Chain A
Amino acid sequence: MKRFIFLALVAALVMAACSAYAWAPKKNVTVIVAYKAGSGTDNTARVLSKFATDKIGKTLVIQNLEGGSGSIGWTALANARPDGHTIGFINLPTLCSNIVEGLGDYKVDDFVPICNHVNETSLVMVGKDSPFNSVEELVKFAKENPGKLKASTNGMKASNHIGAELFAKSAGFTYMAIPYGGTADQLLALRQGEVDFSVAKEADIAAMMSEVKILGVFAEKRMASFPDVPTLGELGLYNKWYGSARAIVAPKGTSPEAVKFYEEAFKAAMEDPEYIAAAEKAGVTTLFMNAEDTAKLINQQYQFCTDEVAKLWD
């Protein structure tokens, strides 16, 4: 009898498990990354994919569809067959600012959020030989010499240009933005001394910490990784979080069961101690958010792009 109860319990558990995971991929899963191989997004996507493969049970095949500031890959993702075998990584706020700028052929509603993966905070930085040692010194000089300071950006109206604009507008100075068409070149120019300051994200400078001075962070409270660096809000400047987030989404029409399946699988992967160790080593700042919170984040970022960012360029 005891045995029977035990078996019945097992059967019930198995059935419960089956109904919870009613959906599972039947073939390899295509993961669209809208940036080229070797880019920041690509690297973090590959780290996660490696650890998620076990949880998903099929191989995740990363497909790099770069170009058009992400819009080529995201157009492909939005138009992919929503059978649960194609998912992709999106970058915020770039996905939203592309929509506002009219790049690419998709809207926010064309994607179903699965979960958030990475959050990176933006930082204000100067080269290691710069005369400026604090945000105050930099702002003071900039105000006394309007338009004289030069900042490298990763492209016209790109994420780090938005960051530099938010900083300058809130501090009330004018500067010259020089677009370099990519974060690697943007930071090389800063290290060469071709420009005076830059705004970039924390993972971008992991390989060059000794060559830059970080003056301020775009966060609501000080960051654990830079406890001595003030937030811009503390100094009376831009007082909200700014940075980038990378989330995993599926094309509109993907079944809720499939979304649930991936949400759980990626959650498990991000909680895997081996993943945590690998991500830490690679400088990836993981932040899991469930589908619901990710949807909120995407909408909030879209709002940010239509309200605040659009005003920056007037």
Chain B
Amino acid sequence: MLETLSLMGNGFVSALYPVNILAMIAGVTIGIVIGCLPGLSAAMGVALLLPMTFSMEASTGMIMLGAIYCGAIFGGSISAILIHTPGTPASAATAIEGYQMTLKGQAGKALGTACIASFFGGLLSCISLYFFAPVLGKLAMKFGSPEYFWLSIFGLTIIAGVSSKSMVKGLMSGALGLLLSTIGMDPMQGVKRFMFGQSSLYEGINVTCALIGLFSMSQALILAEAKIKQRARATQFNDRMLLTKDELKNIAPTIGRSWIIGNLIGILPGAGASIACFMGYNTARQFSKHKELFGHGSYEGVAGSEAANNAVTGGSLIPMLTLGIPGESVTAVLMGGLIIQGLTPGPNLFVGETAKMTYTFFAGFVLIQFFMLGIGLLGCRGFANIARLSDAILIPSVTILCVVGSFAIHQNFVDVVIMLIFGVIGWLARKFGLNNAAIVLALILGPIGEKGLRRSLLLSGGDPRILFSTPVCWVLIALCVLGILSPVLMDKMAGKKIEEDE
């Protein structure tokens, strides 16, 4: 124990070497820029800079890549808040409340909330990285095919949360998303489904493409429809970024809950930040004292989503470092970086000489969060001015970003066409009161659920009892029931409270 403590202490000492500080500042800045550009994901950023780290010391290289990762996950929220364009799928839920805040002239406050929530989410995730990594790592081993099926069902119950206006339309949106998620090669038999001869659709509809279309392109269409607004003259623009003490106190429990959600989701391979942000957002809504603000610009919603997606960063490192299981593409690239440095992920990272590198990286990960907060708050002051731009500038800029962003994913024009189709779908969906967030959620979760269900049944020879065979399954089933019933129960309880107050 004492030995571990001294390793942790020494980690901080070596993480504070000037070269490491430089790596953090550079990494966070590059990450934020990559994150806020739609189409450029955290994974791409990390992969792009990976060769640069080959010649660095292992810990410095890992710190730099970790900084890009954290920066990119936060950076995605900037464009989500300002122009309703989530820079990465991890910020999809942030766009819901964040953009509403911008419309109300509170862009600064939304960015500030995102920054502070990301900071705490990331910082808290370091605690689990430090103290519970070996224990939590085992959780990843407990998730087999039946568990993934239930996880996706639990994720889908969030639709009830995001569709506050009309449950029926929320369910319709979810069903549409699930239907769209069946496009591509069937994951079990390799049968081509609804591909219309397009080999680009082989792996299904690219979620980033769909996201850019549904959120951003549809936004540009909506803006273009209405009269051009000159926001620069809007009187109610308020660029105060820091939250008051009361507001901070208000979001503290939200951040705590999102930390736990983000961390656990981060640990599970294949789930990742894009699901965690929705779960964090939904939980924030369920526990909020100001539910009426949700859908109309609630800073608690922004905090819930952003704390959760940044808590994923620390969580996703756990199975990669302790078991050599990369949970998502970013950690896969990081693991590649480790292997190229000659370090084998697994328990041996925590003993002997390599433990020094591991704990320096951990300490660096803690410090990265502080740099993210600093650089974020400084930069956002400038970014917030985007909210003042006139629609005449905003509409073409967003359209260009959409086209370039969707093209950047694979350098493929088919992706641009898919983005445009989803732009129209998103525009129509908003006209009919359908919910774009629910469509995206179902699009992400559909394949996870389908694989989980079909693989489980293949393993059991068609016996459905396999879906109820482990304690983890039952926990998830309980969560699903809770997820479905909680909106009803919460309403009842809220009703009672009002009666009591009277």
Interface, chain A (partner B; CB < 8 A): 36-39, 42-43, 46-47, 49-50, 62-69, 71-72, 75-76, 103-105, 150, 155-157, 176, 178-181, 184-185, 188-189, 191-192, 194-195, 206-208, 210, 278, 281-283
Contacts and interface: CB of A to CB of B under 8 A. Distances in A.
Contact of B47 (A64, A157, A188): A64
B47 A189 contact: no
B144 A194 contact: yes
A178 B466 CA distance: 15
Contacts of B325: 184, 188
A207 B188 contact: no
Contact of A207 (B202, B333, B345, B410): B345
A207 B458 contact: no
Interface string B193-227: 00000011011000000000000000000000000
A207 B269 contact: no
Given A36-B332, A43-B339, 6 more contacts: A38-B326, A69-B202, A71-B202, A72-B410, A178-B455, A207-B339
Contacts of B340: 43, 46-47, 278, 281-282
Contact of B200 (A67, A184, A206, A207): A67
A39 B339 CA distance: 12
B332 A37 contact: yes
A208 B339 CA distance: 12
A150 B461 CA distance: 11
Contact of B459 (A67, A178, A184, A283): A178
Interface in B276-298: none
Given A68-B202, A191-B141, A37 B46 contact: yes
Interface residues of B, number: 48
Contacts of A39: 332
A43 B145 CA distance: 28
B336 interface: yes
A292 to B, nearest CB: 30
Interface string B150-190: 00000000000000000000000000000000000101111
A37 B459 contact: no
B344 A75 contact: no
Interface of B is mostly: helix
Interface string B431-454: 000000000000000000001000
A125 B335 CA distance: 23
A37 B323 CA distance: 20
A94 B169 CA distance: 44
B203 A37 contact: no
Contacts of B189: 156
B332 A156 contact: no
A42 B46 CA distance: 13
Contacts of B323: 208
A37 B44 contact: yes
A50 B199 contact: no
A249 B192 CA distance: 29
A157 B190 contact: yes
Given A46-B340, A72-B412, A184-B326, A105 B187 contact: no
B411 A179 contact: no
Contacts of A189: 144-145
Contacts of B140: 188
A65 B325 CA distance: 23
Contacts of A185: 269-270
A106 to B, nearest CB: 11
B51 interface: yes
Contacts of B47: 37-38, 42, 62, 64
Contacts of A63: 411
A210 B185 CA distance: 34
A150 B460 CA distance: 10
Nearest to A207: B324
Contacts of A195: 459
B471 interface: no
Contacts of A72: 199-200, 202, 410, 412
A107 B422 CA distance: 33
Nearest to A280: B342
B43 A178 contact: no
B206 to A, nearest CB: 8
Contacts of A62: 47, 51
A75 B199 contact: yes
A148 B188 CA distance: 19
B459 A194 contact: yes
Contact of A184 (B332, B334, B410): B332
B43 A38 contact: yes
Contacts of B269: 184-185, 188
B199 A71 contact: yes
B329 interface: yes
Nearest to A148: B461
A145 B248 CA distance: 63
B474 interface: no
A37 B333 contact: yes
Contacts of B339: 43, 206-207, 281-283
B50 interface: yes
